[in-house]
């Protein structure tokens, strides 16, 4: 946590997307709109789950947790960027930078693991429908979410502690809109061999492992669906996992696109702009994807909005 000359670090500079002053109002308006839509959309799903007993099933339990994580993920990065634009300051203190990096890693990894847990839930629902409620009991669902939090917390803690051991020399400009792990490691002037090894290991284990689990689950799901004799039965079975498959494709597609694209272009600003796809756009679209073709969720949202409207009318009277 020190410079090369043993002077304590006090702050970093977040360069963001563009230094042109005329673009700042546009960037501010765009991101505050996406942030508000993300928070409102995911909050509605959480409220619908908590207020409607018909949604108290494993699938909606995991979905409500995913919505909570998506709100936290965007709240970790976007508010600070908006404040920087308003104050025309790019400064973030060293302590806040490390804290932001910790929570971003925590919620991003939670997103990844929860999507895998939801794939397992769909696998049990379609491949073993008669034993679904026995296997996916409340205790197992709670345990899966708890383990997801523990794994994500340990990973982000380990990565953050390893960054704390690094020394920084003269360059404190982060070519991103938040304190991204890879960017901070690249800024260090001390040996980053262990940090790079750990990042590659975690990517392979906690990135490739869940992805392999999702692919395996859906290979079994597709095999089971193909064995259903009626076309209506196939459609009904596929519709139960279509929303999750869409979210998984969007999440992993944008993540792979960002990192493969940034590796090819070697442009930090391009990487920052592309990372918006999985850090902001994906959490914003998740509520729309899940509610678009989900009749139960639509019904619950209408019922909740109707209850809210009735209460407001009573209060006004």
Tell me if 107 sits within 8 A of 72, measured CB to CB: yes
Half-sphere exposure in the Cβ direction for 280 (13 Å, CA): 19
State the pLDDT confidence band at 314, using cuts at 50, 70 and 90.
very low
Give the pair of three-digit tokens for residue 1: 């946590």
Name the least confident of 102-116, 129-143, 300-314. 300-314
Q: Is 45 exposed, middle or buried (0-12, 13-18, 19+ CB in 10 A)?
A: buried
Q: What is the mean pLDDT of the chain?
A: 86
Residue scoring higher pLDDT (25 or 7): 25
pLDDT over threshold 90, residue 212: yes
State the CB neighbour count (10 A cutoff) for residue 137.
Answer: 12
pLDDT score, position 311: 52
Question: Model-level pTM?
Answer: 0.89
Residue 82 to residue 27: CA distance in whole angstroms:
9
Q: What is the pLDDT of residues 257-272, one digit of tens each?
A: 766 665 555 555 667 7
Residue 237 to residue 224: CA distance in whole angstroms:
9
Q: What is the pLDDT of residues 9-68, one digit of tens each?
A: 778 999 888 777 788 899 999 999 999 999 999 999 999 889 888 888 999 999 999 999
Interval 102-106 mean pLDDT: 96
Q: What is the pLDDT of residues 235-293, one digit of tens each?
A: 888 888 888 888 898 888 877 776 666 555 555 566 777 788 888 999 999 888 887 66
Share of the chain above pLDDT 90, in %: 50
Contacting residues for 59 by C-beta, under 8 A, at least 6 apart: 118, 121, 122, 125
Residue scoring higher pLDDT (124 or 169): 124
Interval 118-138 mean pLDDT: 94
Domains and CATH numbers, the chain: 11-316 (1.20.1070.10)
Give the pair of three-digit tokens for residue 182: 């890879």
């Amino acid at each position: 946590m020190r410079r090369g000359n043993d002077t304590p670090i006090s702050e970093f500079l977040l360069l963001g997307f563009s230094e042109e002053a005329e673009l700042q109002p546009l960037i501010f308006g765009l991101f505050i709109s996406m942030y508000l839509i993300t928070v409102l959309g995911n909050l509605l799903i959480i409220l619908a789950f908590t207020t409607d007993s018909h949604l108290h099933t494993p699938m909606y339990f995991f979905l409500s947790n995913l919505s909570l994580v998506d709100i936290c993920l965007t709240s970790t990065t976007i508010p600070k960027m908006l404040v920087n634009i308003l104050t025309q300051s790019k400064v973030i203190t060293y302590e806040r930078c490390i804290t932001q990096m910790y929570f971003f890693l925590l919620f991003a990894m939670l997103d990844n693991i929860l999507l895998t847990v939801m794939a397992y839930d769909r696998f049990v629902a379609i491949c073993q429908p008669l034993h679904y409620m026995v296997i996916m009991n409340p205790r197992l669902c709670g345990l899966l979410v708890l383990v997801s939090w523990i794994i994500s917390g340990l990973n982000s803690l380990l990565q953050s502690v390893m960054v704390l051991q690094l020394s920084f020399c003269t360059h404190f400009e982060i070519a991103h809109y938040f304190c991204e792990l890879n960017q901070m490691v690249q800024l260090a002037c001390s040996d980053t061999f262990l940090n790079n090894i750990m990042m590659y290991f975690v990517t392979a284990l906690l990135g490739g492992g869940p992805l392999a689990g999702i692919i395996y689950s859906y290979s079994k799901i597709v095999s089971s669906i193909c064995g259903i004799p009626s076309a209506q039965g196939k459609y009904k079975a596929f519709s139960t996992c279509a929303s999750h498959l869409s979210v998984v494709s969007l999440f992993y597609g944008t993540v792979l696109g960002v990192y493969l694209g940034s590796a090819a272009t070697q442009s930090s600003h391009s990487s920052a702009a592309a990372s918006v796809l999985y850090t902001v756009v994906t959490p914003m679209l998740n509520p729309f994807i899940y509610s678009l073709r989900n009749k139960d969720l639509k019904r619950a949202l209408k019922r909740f909005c109707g209850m809210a409207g009735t209460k407001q009318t009573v209060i006004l009277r």
